[in-house]
Amino acid sequence: MTSAPHSRRHFLQIATAALAASATGLRAADAEPLFKISLAEWSLNKGMFKREGAEPLEHLDFCKIARSLGIDGVEYVNQMFADKAGDLAYLEDMKKRQDDEGVKGLLIMVDREGNLGDPDEAKQAKTVENHLKWLDAAALLGCHSIRVNAASDPKLAYDEQMKHAAAGLHALCLEADKRGLYVVVENHGGLSSNGLWLTGVMKLADHARVGILPDFGNFYTDRNKGELYNPYKGLREFMPWVKKGMSAKAYDWDTGAGKHYTEDRREGREMTLDYQRLIEIVVKAGYKGYIGIEYEGVKHTEIEGIKRTKQALEELRAAMS
């Protein structure tokens, strides 16, 4: 009989511990993830462009493909629907498919619309005008940004290219602001892959709507000469200018370089990226938005490459949580 109080105390201790563990588990489950994972449409470019050896894909199936891979955010590429920017019915179909699949349209990557840093004022103004239809399309799709390039005339001096790129970006940001959108620049070769140059452009552009969309792998300032800007230094320099997205460029996985290393082993394009080091830089900077898978390897099929990249991101996220 004398053991009853001890039994009750023991029961209460167990119950209290169980409740505490349960509460901790709920807090962990409800906690905001370190980052979210999205899919850049360029990961499927071989299929979208019907290239030899790739499974043919259709742009309008992009959201369905993303959802089938357990991904809820998508980054469109304007090249995949280049002639549809002004086609309201087509864009509304895209939005419906997006909503039906329960995914978010995050941004449109815009290429081939001219150089925002063109030193010729008339050509620069035309380039800005060419981007307006993509701002309108992004707004209709519920995106937060369009991704652009900051190219100028490579024959001009460093400071001159910076000045012209900033002027074009500022003009485009004035238009983006009317639509509640951001204009984000990707490091995409040339001086744009130089961290100090592109952050200098951001300062000169001087607009709340301008930002950077870092690409983990696009740090060759001159591929022909093998001139590579340090990817880790560049990413650290870019992070204060990141708005809501970045591209997790990935190449071949499981090459022997290490579990979380990805390698581009193509002649003249060689690059090895330490994903753990890159993600640590992102997390340390306090970024919690989407990181977009942009698979560009040759060892795996596009779907396999996307899955392998997603696995690496999920493993690193879990390890750092």
Task: Count other Cβ atoms within 10 Å, centred on residue 175.
Answer: 17
d(CA 92, CA 162): 37
Secondary structure (3-state) at 72: coil
Two structure tokens written together for 17? 């511990």
pLDDT at 35: 97
Secondary structure (3-state) at 227: strand
pLDDT at 32: 87
User: For 77-86, what is the mean pLDDT?
Assistant: 97
Which residue, 257, 101, 82, is CA-closest to 90?
82
Look-up of token digits 């357990």:
70
d(CA 176, CA 82): 20
- Residue of higher predicted confidence among 2 and 249: 249
User: What DSSP designation does 55 have?
Assistant: P
Pairing of strands 210-213, 220-222: unpaired
What are residue 215's DSSP bridge partners? 247
pLDDT at 14: 42
pLDDT at 125 over 90: yes
Q: pLDDT by residue (tens digit) across 12-65?
A: 454 444 444 444 443 344 578 999 999 999 999 999 999 998 999 999 999 999
pLDDT at 13: 52
